[in-house]
C-alpha cells in the first residue's frame, strides 16, 4: 500500500489521500504513514485520511470539480 501511495505522490503530488472501503481498517493508517515518512521527504507528504465510503467521496469530489469547471466562467449580472 505504501509503494502505491509513493507512486501517487510522485505523479500527482496530492494534498490529501483518502483510504477506505469496506475491508480497510482505520488502524492501518498509522503503519502506512510511518512507512511513507521513512520513504519520502517530509515536504512531499500529503495528509492521509480515512473514508468509510470512498465511492461517495469520489463522486462528490468529481461533482465539485465538474461544477467548478462549468461555472468558473459564468458571471451573474444585475440589470
Consecutive 10-residue runs of the chain (79 residues): their mean pLDDT?
A: 86 87 87 88 85 89 89 76
| Per-residue pLDDT, 63 | 93
Residue 23: closest CA among 2, 47, 57, 50: 50
Q: Annotate 57-74 with b (16+ C-beta within 10 A) or e (fewer).
A: eeeeeeeeeeeeeeeeee
| Per-residue pLDDT, 60 | 92
DSSP state, residue 20:
E
Collapsing DSSP states into helix, strand and coil, what is residue 6? helix
What is the four-CA torsion angle of 10, 11, 13, 17, rounded to 10 degrees? -90
Amino acid at each position: 500500500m505504501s509503494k502505491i501511495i509513493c507512486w501517487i505522490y510522485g505523479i500527482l503530488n496530492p494534498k490529501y489521500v483518502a483510504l477506505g472501503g469496506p475491508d480497510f481498517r482505520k488502524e492501518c493508517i498509522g503503519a502506512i504513514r510511518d512507512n511513507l515518512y521513512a520513504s519520502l521527504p517530509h515536504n512531499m507528504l500529503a495528509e492521509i485520511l480515512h473514508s468509510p465510503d470512498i465511492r461517495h467521496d469520489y463522486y462528490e469530489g468529481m461533482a465539485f470539480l465538474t461544477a467548478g469547471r462549468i461555472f468558473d466562467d459564468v458571471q451573474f449580472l444585475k440589470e
